[in-house]
């Protein structure tokens, strides 16, 4: 049965959960909106939070992560894996688009390849979603089949219904959590009606639309259209913002840091938008900017669907609103040549 909680009791709720989990919540303490460990008192994010700049994927695939340490002796290397943090974490307030992004990343880091670093954190985390009541102008989640109140990818979903939050128990872990949480009340039919109304209102606020019908085949047909891709890439400055802050991008580089005979191996976020990304000793197959832009677009809307039967984009809009030159992926996709339509 659905629950509800008064907004004035959210701090108390998070305090209770902090006894069981490392609670992460929206924060601007470092000057940019991101999920960070809750300080035990501040819930002002309930007023300003629309979405984070840094996507929640950073909690599972950090911008820089130590993979192991090593020490060299006379004959070989001694490898020391990172110490395991057994504490469970709870991400409070994750938006539906970002929760869907985690489900998409799971396909790479769990289904295609068992990545121990990602999975150790992913499987130790509860996601408490917060319905998006005020989508940004750049959001287009509904075009990707995601509602601003989508609950399929979280354990609990909270929806703003005035003085309270309506709480839906989605998974067994979510139900177990609410069963152990005091201060929650049973929701009634009026609360359910208010939640439905709030969800419908939020859905209708997403006005940016993208027709994704047949987009995979259209991109495949236009793959060798150099003129189209040069035009699409014209104002891109190859800064990598759109990929580094994308909730579904997962490319990383690996480097060793060595001081005398001791060191560590790290992996860190990388971007297919960078000219050095695919550079090899003898060549760079994506030296031209248009090839890198094509890779970025086609990976999400052509290559990923070919492998996993899902578009690797959730319409969060970060790549649009955070781009320094206003490059817009929806406009690029809408401008794919008509002759590139499937079957033509």
**pLDDT at residue 190 above 80?**
yes
Q: What angle do CA 81, 261, 270 make, to 5 degrees?
A: 55
**What CA–CA distances, in Å, run from 338 to 122, 220, 327?**
41, 13, 21
- Check if the beta carbon of residue 324 is closer than 8 Å to that of residue 271: no
The Cα 267–Cα 62 span in angstroms is: 9
DSSP 184: -
229-250 mean pLDDT:
96
At residue 206, the pLDDT reads 97
| Cβ neighbours of residue 232 closer than 8 Å, sequence gap 6 or more | 290, 293, 294, 297, 332, 335
**pLDDT at residue 341 above 90?**
no
At residue 84, the pLDDT reads 73
**pLDDT at residue 22 above 90?**
yes
At residue 344, the pLDDT reads 45
Structure tokens given for 271: 């971007």
The Cα 270–Cα 292 span in angstroms is: 13
**98 closest CA partner among 58, 43, 133:** 58
Structure tokens given for 305: 């669907």
Most confident of the following: 143-152, 258-267, 285-294: 143-152
**pLDDT at residue 87 above 90?**
no
At residue 342, the pLDDT reads 47
Band of residue 283 on the pLDDT scale cut at 50, 70, 90: confident
Helix, coil or strand: residue 120: helix
Q: What angle do CA 215, 216, 220 make, to 5 degrees?
A: 115
Band of residue 338 on the pLDDT scale cut at 50, 70, 90: low
**pLDDT at residue 12 above 60?**
yes
315-330 mean pLDDT:
97
The Cα 64–Cα 4 span in angstroms is: 38
The Cα 96–Cα 316 span in angstroms is: 9
Helix, coil or strand: residue 126: strand
Tens digit of each residue's pLDDT (9 = 90 or more) over 31-60: 999 999 999 999 999 999 999 999 999 999
The Cα 211–Cα 39 span in angstroms is: 42
At residue 285, the pLDDT reads 82
**pLDDT at residue 289 above 70?**
yes
DSSP 338: G
At residue 340, the pLDDT reads 47
Query: What percent of the chain shows pLDDT beyond 70?
Result: 97
Q: Cα–chain-centroid distance for residue 249?
A: 8
- Check if the beta carbon of residue 132 is closer than 8 Å to that of residue 96: yes
| Cβ neighbours of residue 266 closer than 8 Å, sequence gap 6 or more | 64, 65, 66, 67, 254, 255, 256, 257
**301 closest CA partner among 293, 311, 292:** 311
At residue 328, the pLDDT reads 97
86-110 mean pLDDT:
96
The Cα 231–Cα 137 span in angstroms is: 24
Band of residue 339 on the pLDDT scale cut at 50, 70, 90: low
- Check if the beta carbon of residue 198 is closer than 8 Å to that of residue 160: yes
Q: How many CB atoms lie within 10 A of CB 14?
A: 21
Name which residue leads in pLDDT, 341 or 120. 120
Band of residue 343 on the pLDDT scale cut at 50, 70, 90: very low
**pLDDT at residue 249 above 80?**
yes
**pLDDT at residue 7 above 90?**
yes
């Amino acid at each position: 049965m659905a629950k509800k909680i008064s907004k004035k009791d959210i701090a108390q709720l998070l305090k209770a959960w902090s006894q069981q989990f490392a609670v992460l919540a929206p924060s601007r303490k470092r000057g940019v909106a991101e999920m960070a460990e809750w300080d035990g008192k501040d819930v002002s994010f309930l007023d300003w939070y629309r979405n984070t700049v840094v996507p929640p994927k950073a909690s599972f695939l950090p911008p820089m992560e130590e993979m192991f340490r090593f020490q060299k002796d006379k004959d070989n290397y001694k490898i020391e894996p990172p110490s395991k943090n057994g504490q469970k974490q709870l991400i409070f307030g994750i938006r539906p688009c970002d929760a869907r992004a985690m489900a998409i990343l799971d396909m790479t880091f769990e289904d295609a390849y068992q990545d121990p670093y990602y999975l150790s954190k992913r499987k130790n985390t509860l996601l408490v979603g917060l319905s998006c009541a005020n989508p940004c102008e750049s959001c287009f989640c509904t075009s990707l089949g995601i509602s601003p109140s989508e609950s399929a990818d979280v354990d609990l979903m909270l929806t703003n219904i005035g003085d309270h939050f309506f709480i839906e128990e989605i998974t067994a872990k979510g139900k177990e959590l609410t069963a152990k949480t005091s201060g929650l009340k049973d929701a009634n039919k009026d609360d359910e009606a208010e939640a439905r109304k709030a969800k419908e209102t939020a859905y209708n606020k997403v006005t940016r639309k993208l027709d994704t019908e047949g987009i995979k085949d259209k991109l495949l047909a236009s793959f060798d259209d150099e003129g189209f891709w040069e035009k699409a890439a014209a104002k891109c400055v190859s800064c990598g913002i759109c990929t580094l802050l994308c909730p579904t991008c997962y490319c990383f580089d690996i480097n060793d840091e060595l001081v005398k005979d001791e060191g560590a191996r790290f992996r860190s976020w990388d971007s297919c938008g960078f000219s050095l990304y695919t550079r090899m000793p003898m060549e760079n197959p994506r030296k031209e900017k248009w090839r890198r832009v094509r890779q970025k677009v086609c990976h999400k809307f052509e290559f990923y669907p070919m492998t996993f039967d899902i578009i690797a984009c959730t319409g969060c809009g970060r790549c649009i609103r955070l781009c320094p030159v206003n490059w817009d992926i929806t406009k690029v996709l809408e401008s794919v040549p008509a002759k590139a339509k499937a079957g033509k």
